[in-house]
């Protein structure tokens, strides 16, 4: 099982002048260390307007800097938003190819369609169209990378013959992933030959059925790209310390800050028509927010917090569920940079080697 570093770039208030500069430089230092100690991937989101929760609106710029500060860690979009008002698919293909070049072939492209009305309304995105827009765009991008002259005529895009340049280093092209939340999306991802980025904080038990559906579907995949990316990555909020009790005492409140603020992102859906493709996510948030507390997340494995032995036991459960990579969310809430660095060192020294 592999280990990824996952970031939203969270900056809770109060803010001071220069805090965003400090946070970005801290994250670059954390990824450099992660590269050295054995983490396999670095991932960030693309979010807009989400003050405090995520200050990561231009991840591709950060990826360029990370690519020059690291040697082996893979760099992944989690995810690039494909509705055209956010990103035209040609621009996604171009930026991803450049990143693949400057990183010497270490780029993975995860894609998605956005879930918050704060973002969709800000970019004038119609929630009823995001699924169809994503579907059309994801089928175009690998062709842009592999065809000397690309052209397309579809529902949303009418592109005349053009050479989309440059081309990525990885052949036939970089791995493709998709964000998944509802159970049906796992099977759909498998049918399309896409890797899964599971951002549900439901713990390891809920993954058994979803992993099984994905593996069954991928056996008969008709991949949108040139190959099948048969991988499942699952999000876990992680804080590793030398002392089991202290790690939970320090980490759990910051994990709860993340969860509570993630739930609030769905408040604007109240009183709005919810398209069928969003009903599962919106209903799940409204249902799960009632009684969830830190202990529930610790018990389910949604939070992996404690000393290295405790973390290893949690990670074994994800491995048993069929997960190929754990997306370690290392920077929740107000967790200090020094504690995150210590956590990364312990993960590299004691946890990651256990799964090699």
Domains, the chain, in order of start with CATH, read 2-355 (3.20.20.30)
How much is the pLDDT for 294? 80
Are the beta carbons of 111 and 82 closer than 8 angstroms? Answer: yes
- Cβ partners under 8 Å of residue 175, min gap 6: 108, 109, 195, 229, 231
Q: In this structure, what token pair is assigned to residue 52?
A: 């405090």
d(CA 270, CA 289): 15
d(CA 7, CA 82): 20
The three-state DSSP-derived secondary structure of the chain is CEEEEEECCCCCCCCCCCHHHHHHHHHHHHHHHHHHHCCCEEEECCCCCCCCCCCCCCHHHHHHHHHHHCCCCEEEEEEEECCCCCCCHHHHHHHHHHHHHHCCCCEEEEEECCCCHHHHHHCCCCHHHHHHHHHHHHHHHHHHHHCCCEEEECCCCEEEEECCCCCCCCCCCCCEEEEECCHHHHHHHHHHCCEEEECCCCCCCCHHHHHHHHHHHHCCCCCCCCCCCCCEEEEEEEEECCCHHHHHHHHHHHHHHHHHHHHHCCHHHCCCCCCHHHHHHHHHHHHHCCCCCHHHHHHHCCEEEECHHHHHHHHHHHHHCCCCEEEEECCCCCCCHHHHHHHHHHHHHHHHHHHC
Q: In this structure, what token pair is assigned to residue 307?
A: 């000393």
How much is the pLDDT for 285? 67
Q: Per residue of the chain (356 residues), give pLDDT as tens.
A: 999 999 999 999 999 999 999 999 999 999 999 999 999 999 999 999 999 999 999 999 999 999 999 999 999 999 999 999 999 999 999 999 999 999 999 999 999 999 999 999 999 999 999 999 999 999 999 999 999 999 999 999 999 999 999 999 999 999 999 999 888 999 999 999 999 999 999 999 999 999 999 999 999 999 999 999 999 999 999 999 999 999 999 999 999 999 999 999 999 999 899 999 898 888 876 555 545 578 999 999 999 999 999 999 999 999 999 999 999 999 999 999 999 999 999 999 999 999 99
d(CA 217, CA 127): 27
How much is the pLDDT for 282? 84
How much is the pLDDT for 320? 98
Are the beta carbons of 211 and 181 closer than 8 angstroms? Answer: no
**Cα angle for residues 80, 86, 87 (degrees, 5° grid):** 65
How much is the pLDDT for 290? 46
Among residues 152, 37, 131, 142, which one has the least CA distance to residue 81? Answer: 131
d(CA 23, CA 42): 16
Tell me whether the omega of the peptide bond preceding residue 166 falls within 30 degrees of 0, making it cis. yes
Q: In this structure, what token pair is assigned to residue 220?
A: 């008969």
């Amino acid at each position: 099982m592999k280990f990824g570093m996952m970031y939203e770039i969270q900056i809770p208030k109060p803010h001071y002048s220069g805090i965003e500069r400090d946070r970005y430089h801290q994250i670059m230092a954390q990824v450099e260390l992660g590269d050295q100690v054995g983490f396999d991937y670095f991932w960030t989101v693309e979010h807009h307007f989400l003050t405090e929760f995520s200050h990561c609106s231009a991840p591709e710029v950060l990826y360029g800097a990370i690519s020059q500060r690291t040697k082996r860690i893979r760099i992944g979009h989690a995810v690039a938003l494909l509705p055209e008002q956010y990103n035209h698919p040609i621009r996604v293909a171009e930026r991803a190819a450049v990143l693949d070049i400057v990183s010497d072939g270490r780029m993975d492209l995860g894609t998605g369609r956005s879930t918050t009305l704060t973002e969709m309304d800000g970019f004038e995105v119609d929630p009823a169209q995001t699924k169809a827009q994503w579907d059309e765009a994801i089928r175009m991008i690998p062709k842009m990378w592999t065809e000397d002259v690309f052209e397309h005529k579809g529902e949303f895009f009418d592109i005349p013959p053009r050479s989309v340049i440059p081309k990525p280093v990885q052949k036939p092209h970089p791995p493709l992933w998709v964000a998944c939340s509802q159970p049906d999306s796992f099977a759909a991802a498998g049918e399309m030959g896409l890797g899964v980025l599971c951002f549900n904080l439901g713990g390891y038990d809920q993954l058994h059925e979803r992993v099984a559906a994905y593996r069954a579907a991928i056996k008969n995949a008709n991949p949108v790209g040139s190959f099948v990316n048969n991988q499942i990555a699952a999000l876990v909020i992680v804080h590793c310390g030398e002392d089991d009790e202290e790690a939970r005492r320090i980490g759990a409140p910051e994990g709860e800050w993340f969860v509570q603020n993630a739930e609030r992102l769905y408040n604007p859906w109240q009183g709005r028509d919810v398209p069928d493709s969003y009903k599962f996510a919106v209903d799940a948030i409204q249902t799960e927010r009632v009684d969830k507390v830190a202990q529930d997340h610790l018990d389910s494995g949604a939070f992996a917090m404690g000393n290295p032995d405790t973390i290893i036991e949690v990670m074994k459960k994800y491995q048993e569920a069929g997960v190929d990579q754990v997306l370690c969310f290392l920077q929740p809430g107000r967790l200090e940079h020094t504690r995150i660095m210590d956590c990364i060192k312990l993960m590299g020294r004691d946890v990651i080697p256990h799964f090699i």
